[in-house]
A and B are shown apart, each in its own frame.
Chain A
Amino acid sequence: ETGVTQTPRHLVMGMTNKKSLKCEQHLGHNAMYWYKQSAKKPLELMFVYSLEERVENNSVPSRFSPECPNSSHLFLHLHTLQPEDSALYLCASSDWGQKETQYFGPGTRLLVL
């Protein structure tokens, strides 16, 4: 596969569940990002990783926990989410020196019941 892939594409979970979203990039980039996309709102940057180190955490609740084991993989661990967390979660990657040019995955559509 090429580009940025995300799994699962759709996820339904209860508020007490624990689940993880996975992102993988095949572009040789060294920076990865998690975004939240809600209806009628701009894309919200959640986390930024550069060379596997978290460099930005935009006041995201602790029920979202990112993990970047290597420059090709990024996870978002979910625990005790709220219904308002239902959204499309997008992963992106870039070269850190060109972080304005990001390539996005297809997203995971999350529904929290």
Chain B
Amino acid sequence: GESVGLHLPTLSVQEGDNSIINCAYSNSASDYFIWYKQESGKGPQFIIDIRSNMDKRQGQRVTVLLNKTVKHLSLQIAATQPGDSAVYFCAENSGNTPLVFGKGTRLSVIA
């Protein structure tokens, strides 16, 4: 079946460095993608989204890149801070199911 997955389960980065979290999706009909951040003891929080008619979108310290050719999504976090430590999920929407989530990548920031 169609699925959304993540390349790496864990990622450790030095404080101040940039982080890149990757996501592969298999449903070529998906037209909307979201990145969520989930801190310990909390529910997922929306970070940034992108529609399939775009290949890049920037937020505050975060950038999402979409490569539809290889069905790949990435989240870049600039100048990673300790508060960025969390599990990051990508999710896709193809219109049939509200959201399909990936397993998540745990980001650990080393001070």
Contact = CB atoms under 8 A, between A and B. Distances in A.
Interface in A9-67: 33, 40-43, 45, 48
A102 B97 CA distance: 13
B49 A45 contact: no
B102 A42 contact: yes
Contacts of A92: 43
A90 B49 contact: no
Among B36, B44, B91, chain A packs the most CB atoms within 10 A around the CB of B44
Contacts of A104: 36, 43-45
B103 A42 contact: yes
A43 B89 contact: yes
B34 interface: yes
Contacts of A91: 43
A51 to B, nearest CB: 15
A106 B46 contact: no
On chain B, which size bracket covers the interface?
20 to 34
B89 A106 contact: no
A84 interface: no
Given A4-B43, A42-B4, A99 B98 contact: yes
Contacts of B44: 43, 90, 104
B7 to A, nearest CB: 14
Given A4-B43, A101-B46, A40 B98 contact: no
B93 interface: yes
B34 A100 contact: yes
Contact of B49 (A42, A94, A101, A103): A101
Interface of A: 4, 6, 33, 40-43, 45, 48, 90-92, 94, 99-107
15 contacts: A42-B3, A42-B102, A42-B104, A43-B91, A90-B44, A94-B98, A99-B93, A99-B99, A100-B32, A100-B49, A102-B98, A102-B99, A104-B36, A104-B44, A107-B42
Given A90-B43, A100-B99, A101-B49, 14 more contacts: A40-B9, A42-B3, A42-B4, A42-B103, A43-B91, A45-B98, A90-B44, A99-B98, A101-B34, A103-B46, A104-B44, A104-B45, A106-B42, A106-B43
